[in-house]
């Protein structure tokens, strides 16, 4: 055991020396001192821990730090944070201690990594999406948290073999769903490919092993082909005094799998299983010239496919990737992809933004990473969106192919493929997007939803009177545009709500009702609205009329009279007034659907008709009804939130029922407006949902309503049939 311990300590020391040797950044004396301190702290903190594989736990943080140092190319701060990334979560070292030893910056990164690790990892997709959303939102704190987390996930995937099968599949699926897309967006292609291949190894092991074996079997043949292809090219390149190296790179197993599945072809039918890469030395000012010179030399020998030319030197990808890709007919009439890159471009492709900003700003990587964070900001702006929508928007923007379009002045802009004219307006400026009245593409007027193509020239026609509508969300594809439209709609709702608040204040004054918080809450409950904002907004747009307010006034007066009588007759619990209100509030319903279920009253608070209540599902006694201000309410709701049922008292004599009608007829101008006017304004019936569709001048509609009685519904159907153009109205 002593021998093993000595051996392990020697291995740990060896790993540490290698970490310093492989760092992409040049490390100063202070950097080495910081890394040594982080290393010693990590070794001490994890001294009694082992991984599932049996090796000392400290090998994991060292491995993560090595990935951070060499494959992502980050600085000493990040290397130290990587060494410490599990310390707060798994050991006796707490946040305060890490802050004392390493300072605020490193502590903040380690805390961010701890928060991500603590997120619940449920199988439920929506929860997984929510976790992803939360994780990406930590970018707002510090982008380095995500970079180190990607390195952490890569090492976990590399050592996943010791985990149980169910855990392997879960972690691998999460990797393909969450981490590989982020690595792609950052431009870490090497890490992205490795994460995808390792993910495939556990999610589709048969497919993975089959492709891997076939690649290995064809390796000798592939090497021979690359040598043959390169020989004649190399001679010509040397004659031009170019300094270069040519190598072959097999395509990743995951990318080959995608081609097999998506194109429904066999492994043998894939022609581009590898790419030939030419990496040349150059000064910055000659990079572009030399790339096209190499292109010219290659195409003198091998016929190019013009449709497969990709010029990412003139217009780099949004994640910083630069290269010239061409596909040519090589020896034996086989298609071969050739990637032409300068050494600088190659570094960026391998190391992502860390390398990009080192070239751009010397060693000021940190500022560069902040710039990159700002580029991601548009995805993070809509923090209130539904979690699943957020994930889909984010992934859409990660994987979408780019198109290139022009402003009227001829400036080139890149957008995601599928972007619309309205997306373009928002990409120029939020203010322009929100005031877009019309769009011209190549000189012709087009709808806002018009899908753009590479080469289009777009002119935005703006108007100060234009306001976004909810329909605009269907017209755009990019998450930036969606976020800005949602924000504008919320602002518009707030403005209308402010106006509605003043209108309501005046109307209640006329009805001699006090305008205060209690009245607002009571009126919101009476009108079945969730918030005061909803109430003020509906008043502002004229959806709450005088008739409804008068009904509320009468209802309110009945309640006031009831409580006055109740106070004067406290001794008689079953007096006339209580019988009166019991007859008004005679039923409790549950949930949004207002279901009727069996229940009993809780003895701890003895609710009576009219009290604000909630239902609690007990283990043995069914549903118990408690008052919302019951002394046990907070405890029950915090500990057993999943057993709480939304509940309320109702007057069954005025209860509304949901009903759906179907309408069809000739699509006359303004017919939908006539229908909605009749239902909402004339008959004061609440529309829950409505959809209309027109085909060849014939319209069909479906409307879901809340009605009190069958007679009201029959009266509505009769009136609808009298509208000119309506042929048929039926109740579902």
- Which residues are known catalytic residues? 89-90
Q: How do beta strands 334-342 and 274-280 pair?
A: parallel
Give the integer Cα–Cα distance in Å for 330 and 307: 16
CB-based contact 423:417 (threshold 8 Å): no
Beta strand 436-441 with 458-462 is: antiparallel
SS3 state of residue 318: coil
Report d(CA 92, CA 519) in Å as an integer: 53
What values do phi and psi take at 58, rounded to 5? -60, -20
Q: Are 205 and 213 in contact (CB under 8 A)?
A: no
CA distances (Å), origin 667, targets 337, 670, 673, 731: 55, 8, 12, 20
Cα dihedral across residues 579, 585, 586, 590: positive or negative: negative
Angle between helices 125-137 and 365-380 (to 10 degrees): 140
Q: How far, in Å, CA of 600 to CA of 642, rounded?
A: 19
Q: For the beta carbon of residue 205, count every other beta carbon within 10 angstroms.
A: 13
Residue 687 pairs in a beta bridge with 705
Give the distance from CA 340 to its chain's centroid.
34
The burial of 2, by beta-carbon neighbours within 10 Å (0-12 exposed, 13-18 middle, 19 or more buried), is given as exposed
Bridge partners of 248?
Answer: 276
HSE, CB side, 13 Å, CA atoms: give it for residue 74: 27
Rounded Cα–Cα distance for residues 665 and 693 (Å): 11
Contact at 8 Å (CB) between 397 and 478?
Answer: yes
- The span from the CA of 55 to the CA of 7, in Å, is 12
328: which residues sit within 8 A by CB, 6+ positions away?
298, 299, 302, 303, 304, 305, 335, 336, 338
CA–CA distance, 146 with 182 (Å, rounded to integer): 9
d(CA 21, CA 11): 15
């Amino acid at each position: 055991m002593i021998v093993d311990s000595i051996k392990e300590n020697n291995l740990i020391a060896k790993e540490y020396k290698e970490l310093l040797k492989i760092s992409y950044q040049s490390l100063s004396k202070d950097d080495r001192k910081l890394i040594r301190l982080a290393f010693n702290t990590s070794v001490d903190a994890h001294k009694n821990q082992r991984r599932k594989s049996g090796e000392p736990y400290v090998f994991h943080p060292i491995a993560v730090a090595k990935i951070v140092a060499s494959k992502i190319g980050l600085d000493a701060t990040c290397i130290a944070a990587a060494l410490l990334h599990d310390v707060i979560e798994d050991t006796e070292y707490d946040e305060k201690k890490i802050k004392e030893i390493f300072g605020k910056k490193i502590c903040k990164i380690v805390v961010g990594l701890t928060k991500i690790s603590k997120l619940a990892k449920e199988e439920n997709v929506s929860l997984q999406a929510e976790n992803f959303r939360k994780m990406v939102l930590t970018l707002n704190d510090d982008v380095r948290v995500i970079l180190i987390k990607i390195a952490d996930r890569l090492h976990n995937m590399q050592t996943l073999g010791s985990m149980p099968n169910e855990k392997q599949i879960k972690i691998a699926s999460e990797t393909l769903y969450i981490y590989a897309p982020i690595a792609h967006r950052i431009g870490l292609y090497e890490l992205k490919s490795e994460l995808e291949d390792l993910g495939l190894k556990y999610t589709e092991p048969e497919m993975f092993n089959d492709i891997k074996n076939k690649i290995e079997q064809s390796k000798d043949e592939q090497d021979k082909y690359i040598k043959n292809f390169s020989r004649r090219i190399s001679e010509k390149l040397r004659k031009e005094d170019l300094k270069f190296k040519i190598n072959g790179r097999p395509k990743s197993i995951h990318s080959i799998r995608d081609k097999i599945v998506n194109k429904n072809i066999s492994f043998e039918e894939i022609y581009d299983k590898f790419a030939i890469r030419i990496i040349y030395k150059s000064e910055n000012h000659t990079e572009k010239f030399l790339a096209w010179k190499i292109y010219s030399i290659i195409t003198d020998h091998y016929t190019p496919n013009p449709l497969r030319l990709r010029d990412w030197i003139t217009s780099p990808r949004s994640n910083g990737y630069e290269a010239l890709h061409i596909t040519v007919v090589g020896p034996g009439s086989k298609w071969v992809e050739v990637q032409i890159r300068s050494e600088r471009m190659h570094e960026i492709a391998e190391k992502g933004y860390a390398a990009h900003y080192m070239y751009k700003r010397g060693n000021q990587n940190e500022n560069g990473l902040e710039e990159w964070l700002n580029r991601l900001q548009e995805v993070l702006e809509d923090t209130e969106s539904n979690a699943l929508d957020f994930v889909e928007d984010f992934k859409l923007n990660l994987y979408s192919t780019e198109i290139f379009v022009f402003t009227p002045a001829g400036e080139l802009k890149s957008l995601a493929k599928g972007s619309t004219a309205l997306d373009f307006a928002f990409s120029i400026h939020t203010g322009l997007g929100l005031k877009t009245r019309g769009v011209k593409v190549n000189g012709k007027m087009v709808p806002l939803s018009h899908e753009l193509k590479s080469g289009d020239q777009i002119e935005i026609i703006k108007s100060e009177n234009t306001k976004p509508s909810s329909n605009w969300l269907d017209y755009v594809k990019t998450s930036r545009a969606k976020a800005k439209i949602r924000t504008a709609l919320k602002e518009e709702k707030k403005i209308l709500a402010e106006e509605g608040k003043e209108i309501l204040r005046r109307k209640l004054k006329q009805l001699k009702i006090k305008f205060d918080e209690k009245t607002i809450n009571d009126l919101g409950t009476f009108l079945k609205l969730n918030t005061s904002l909803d109430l003020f907004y509906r008043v502002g747009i004229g959806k709450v009329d005088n008739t409804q307010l008068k009904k509320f006034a009468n209802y309110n007066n009945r309640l006031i009279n009831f409580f006055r009588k109740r106070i004067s007759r406290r001794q008689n619990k079953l007096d006339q007034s209580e019988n009166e209100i019991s007859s008004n509030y005679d039923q409790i319903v549950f949930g949004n659907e207002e279901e009727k279920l069996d229940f009993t009253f809780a003895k701890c608070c003895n609710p009576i008709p009219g009290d604000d209540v909630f239902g609690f599902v007990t283990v043995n006694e069914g549903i118990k009804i408690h008052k919302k201000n019951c002394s046990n309410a907070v405890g029950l709701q915090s500990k057993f939130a999943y057993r709480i049922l939304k509940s309320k008292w109702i007057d069954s004599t005025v209860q509304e029922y949901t009903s759906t009608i179907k309408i069809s007829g000739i699509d006359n101008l303004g017919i939908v407006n006539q229908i909605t006017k009749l239902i909402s304004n004339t008959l004061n019936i609440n529309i829950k949902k409505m959809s209309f569709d027109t085909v060849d001048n014939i319209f069909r509609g479906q409307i879901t309503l809340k009605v009190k009685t069958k007679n009201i519904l029959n009266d509505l159907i009769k009136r609808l049939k009298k509208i000119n153009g309506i042929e048929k109205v039926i109740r579902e």
